[in-house]
Structure 1
Amino acid sequence: MIGNRQEILKIHSKDNVLVALTDLVKGAELSFENQTYILVDDIPAKHKFATKNFNVGAPIHMYGVLVGRAKKEIAKGGLITTENLEHDTEHYSANQVVEKIQWQAPDISKFKGKTFLGYHRTNGTVGIENNWLIIPLVFCQNRNVEVLKNALVDKLGFGKQQHLGLNVDTLIETYKSGGSAEAILEQDILKETDDVYKNPLFPNVDGIRFLTHDGGCGGSTSDAIALCHLLAGYINNPNVAGATVLSLGCQHAQSKILQDALNKMSPNNDKPVYFLEQQHMNSEKELLAEAVKKTFVGLMEANKVERQPATLDKLVIGLECGGSDGFSGISANPVLGYVSDLLVGLGGSTVLAEFPELNGVEQELINRCQSKEKADKFSDIMAVYNEKATLLGGGFSANPSPGNIKDGLITDAIKSAGAAKKGGTSPVEDVLDYTEQVVKPGLNLLCTPGNDVESTTGLAGSGTNIILFTTGLGTPTGNPITPVIKVSSNTKLFNRMNDIIDFNTGGVIDGEETIEETGEQLLDFLIEVASGKQVKARKLEQNDFIPWKRGMSL
């Protein structure tokens, strides 16, 4: 023990490895559950060591599931590494009859009757922001989107008074006065920033969000269709009041495909959506002038909607992780799982994405599906995705990044077993393929890649009005229409990258708080964000948008 903090942790009774919660040195003698371990290697914090001698081929378990097999002999007290462990998972099947599981929600009495202030839409959904979208259907409209951004943002009061607080004028003055490179490097150019928007003309509009991408034409027709469905999902998202859509006219991603997708998602859609095709205009200037006028009229309409109280069952929460470390599956992800269970108990919706990071826990999720149909759909999507990725030279086993591996997530199965903790323990009510919309309360599974931005892009496109994003290494990811709450797995990271991270779960690792206590605090914070509190990614204008091209992306 170090103060109140444990040095090592066994996550599940079935596990045959222990996790180091702090750096441990070779030769150290440790006691745990009436067993003594003498370390034969240095064990860095977040990494694992063997609880017994492993022969070649021996199964290794974490989180109660198979996460790999020894490819070399591993001594008791030895460090588990990529050199001695290879990825392996249990087989799974949805063939058995799936019965509805009996689930007991956690105590939700603290949150019963609580509300947030949101924007009520006519279809019954509630947004936590009121945004206007400007969208290109094809990459050759990206320049026009940027022109509109330059024309509208500052004039309408949506620009920041001081962007990022970097005082470049100081460097210019030093250079003009003959200053050397050393003098330039010694200058302090950081200055205080004002995160408040400048007197917006439309106070009930949270922002104009400008999307750009490299798709819509030149790739596969299926990718163009998926892009149209994704963009329709963005317009349909409750955080969006309406949209201006720019089209060239001849591209694969046609306006009609987007319109048909939007009509299917929301047959009674009454949001203003303006479609403009450049090839039908006399000039580019005419296109841009019309886009500005239509957008201005749309903002006038959007500004009529004001925040009103809404019950917590109107929240649709995306569950995401990125830049994960060996603590993510012990602190941050289980905290999100508890928040998910609380929200499901309150009648809300949660969405667990990143299918490559569910590799190895498929059977557990299949067993939680509330119908055979949903279990089959999940099983089929997982199998097809992995098969296609494997044929293209990848496969789920290739998912962990160098950063993941360095910080203890050395196989995809280890990463997945920890990542799945974001989904809590509640039944799986629905399984959604990419761009399908969340329509059921409870836990939903959504097929996205594990890539952080592609996945958050997909979560927003399926209707999440807020995203919880855990990280152990730090990532600045945000989304144009859906606020992303960044949650750190450890206190050291939270203190070091406090400018981009909103909430810390490191107290769980430090032995200061329980998962349940931290989860309740996070839900309280989430309610504040739902009522208008700005997250760090919003303050930094981190609006990442990358549509998934469904070839190989893990």
Structure 2
Amino acid sequence: MESKINTLSWKGYLRKDGSKGIRNKVLVIYTVECSSHVAKSIASAFPNEDVDVIGFTGCYDNEYVVRMLLALARHPNIGAVLAVGLGCEYTQPSKIADIAAESGRLADWLFIQDCGGTSKTIEKGKKILSEFIKRLKEETKIVDMSFEDLTIGCECGGSDFTSGLAGNVVVGRLFDRLVDMGGKAIFEEIVEAIGLKKILLERAANEKAYIEIEATYDKALEYCKAVRQYSVSPGNFAGGLTTIEEKSMGAVIKSGSRPIEGVIKVSQNPPNKGLWLLDSVPDPHWMNFGYTNPNDSEGLMDLISCGSQLVFLVTGRGNVIGSAVSPTIKITGNSETFKNLEDDMDFNAGKVLNGECTLEELTDNLLRLIAKTCSGELSKGEKLGHKEYYISYKYQDENRKRPCRR
């Protein structure tokens, strides 16, 4: 049975840069809050088409944000990009469109100040999107895809006692299978690995990975101390967790058991197949340490910016969000949560705790769900129109993966 599941395949969308997507989306990007209304109005004119909106609210320059927007504009699930700006901001829509076009995407950009205001810009944007949608349907090459073509990212949120017993456990088993089939798996939330440094280091694939993991862990611990906040919440306590170490054990198990190939930063694709740790914690900066907004939407977008065509959100207590650019599969290890939020939750891992199936059977079922989603079946979040996103000001040196020497 397992061999048949491992050979499941589906049709995907080939991009000119060689990447393969499971969706064929048009992405509208606003480069400042002042252009968000116009960007969203352009996209809303196409309710029956696969059009997503993301953007950045800030006006000032931020290298982290620019890298992230560029990564999302070149994501495998994206076939066309329209960048919309006001005209005063540092983040330039023309630059985003140019780099998207260089990667083979259909791309264009608009400045509201140059187009004559809100109404004229919306009308011009609608014409551009109409042409993009038409061309994507006619010109995108359809190719075979399998698990070896996939990058899947995972984070957990709203954890309870079942997360470390079922929800994150089945993802860990699936990640093992995905890596064995030649795919790429990404786990994040190093701030939810506090207390597990030795365990992480023992799984380093090589010396370089060991150094990167150690530096990433040490930075995360210092960050938690600096902001006086560890990644544990009242909801976790209500769900039966008692300490950050207990939560960490449940969180890290979603990475499975395969060697950790190394650490990547936000907007960096894994350089080769295998299991990778995503560092989304701000790096030290001479002005200030930098603050992140630790919500699930930010974490999902971080994973998606690294090329994940599909992301998992494991939640014991329940969540309803989805994500822009890539589908989100919401998994819970709590059968009561699944029953209560059945319209929102995609997968009930709690069946293994109820004795309804084995862990291997559960993993097989999740693999089948992935194949169906990649084949075009909508996730619960997609059906309900959940396309949340969050992109924050942050400082990250994309080349720093070793201890910081001040």
| Equivalent residue pairs, number | 383
Q: Which has the larger radius of gyration?
A: 1
Q: Aligned partners of 2:340, 2:141: CA distance in 1, in Å?
A: 37
Letter of the 2:153 partner, please give it.
G
Q: CA RMSD in A?
A: 2.3
CA offset digits 1:223-280 (Å, max 9, x no partner): x2211211111111111111100112321223466468x47xxx95111121222333
Letter of the 1:113 partner, please give it.
T
In the alignment, which residue of structure 1 is the partner of 2:12? 118
In the alignment, which residue of structure 2 is the partner of 1:374? 209
Structure 1, gaps ≥5 residues long: 1-106, 159-205
Structure 2 residue 318 is the aligned partner of structure 1 residue 474: yes
In the alignment, which residue of structure 2 is the partner of 1:545? 389
Give the CA deviation at 1:492.
1.4
CA offset digits 1:454-475 (Å, max 9, x no partner): 1001111111001122111110
Structure 2 residue 275 is the aligned partner of structure 1 residue 443: yes
Structure 2 residue 322 is the aligned partner of structure 1 residue 322: no
Letter of the 1:292 partner, please give it.
K
Equivalent runs, 1:136-535 vs 2, <5 Å: 136-150=30-44, 152-154=45-47, 158=48, 207-215=50-58, 217-218=59-60, 221=61, 224-255=62-93, 258=96, 262=99, 269-304=103-138, 305=140, 307-391=142-226, 393-395=227-229, 398-448=230-280, 451-535=295-379
Q: Aligned partners of 1:113, 1:517: CA distance in 2, in Å?
A: 16
Shift in alpha-carbon separation, 1:446–1:293, aligned structure 2, 3 A: same
In the alignment, which residue of structure 1 is the partner of 2:402? none
Letter of the 2:11 partner, please give it.
L
SS in 1 for 2:368: helix
CA offset digits 1:419-440 (Å, max 9, x no partner): 1111101111231112212332
Give the CA deviation at 1:408.
1.6
Give the CA deviation at 1:212.
4.3
CA offset digits 1:386-424 (Å, max 9, x no partner): 324432x324xx211111111122222111111111110
Q: Aligned partners of 1:468, 1:283: CA distance in 2, in Å?
A: 40
CA offset digits 1:131-187 (Å, max 9, x no partner): 10111011110111232134x224xxx1xxxxxxxxxxxxxxxxxxxxxxxxxxxxx
Q: Aligned partners of 2:323, 2:95: CA distance in 1, in Å?
A: 24
Give the CA deviation at 1:301.
1.8
Shift in alpha-carbon separation, 1:538–1:378, aligned structure 2, 3 A: same
Shift in alpha-carbon separation, 1:512–1:207, aligned structure 2, 3 A: same
SS in 1 for 2:271: coil
TM-score by length of 1: 0.65
In the alignment, which residue of structure 2 is the partner of 1:21? none
Letter of the 1:208 partner, please give it.
V
Give the CA deviation at 1:306.
5.8
Give the CA deviation at 1:117.
2.1
Q: Aligned partners of 1:335, 1:142: CA distance in 2, in Å?
A: 38
SS in 2 for 1:117: strand
SS in 2 for 1:432: strand
- Higher relative CO (Cα under 8 Å, sequence separation at least 6) belongs to 2
**Between structures 1 and 2, the one with greater helix share:** 2
Residue pair 2:178, 2:184 contacting (<8 A) in 1 also: yes
In the alignment, which residue of structure 1 is the partner of 2:401? none
Residue pair 2:268, 2:306 contacting (<8 A) in 1 also: yes
Give every structure 1 segment of 4 or more consecutive aligned residues whose post-TM-superposition deviation is greater than 6 Å.
none
Q: Aligned partners of 1:551, 1:326: CA distance in 2, in Å?
A: 34
In the alignment, which residue of structure 1 is the partner of 2:28? 134
Residue pair 2:80, 2:106 contacting (<8 A) in 1 also: yes
Residue pair 1:225, 1:257 contacting (<8 A) in 2 also: no
SS in 1 for 2:276: strand
Q: Aligned partners of 2:107, 2:205: CA distance in 1, in Å?
A: 37
SS in 2 for 1:309: strand
Q: Aligned partners of 2:359, 2:392: CA distance in 1, in Å?
A: 33
Shift in alpha-carbon separation, 1:551–1:431, aligned structure 2, 3 A: closer
Shift in alpha-carbon separation, 1:384–1:252, aligned structure 2, 3 A: farther
Structure 2, gaps ≥5 residues long: 282-293, 397-406
Give the CA deviation at 1:550.
2.8
SS in 2 for 1:413: helix
Give the CA deviation at 1:213.
4.2
Letter of the 1:303 partner, please give it.
K
Residue pair 2:64, 2:395 contacting (<8 A) in 1 also: no
SS in 1 for 2:262: strand
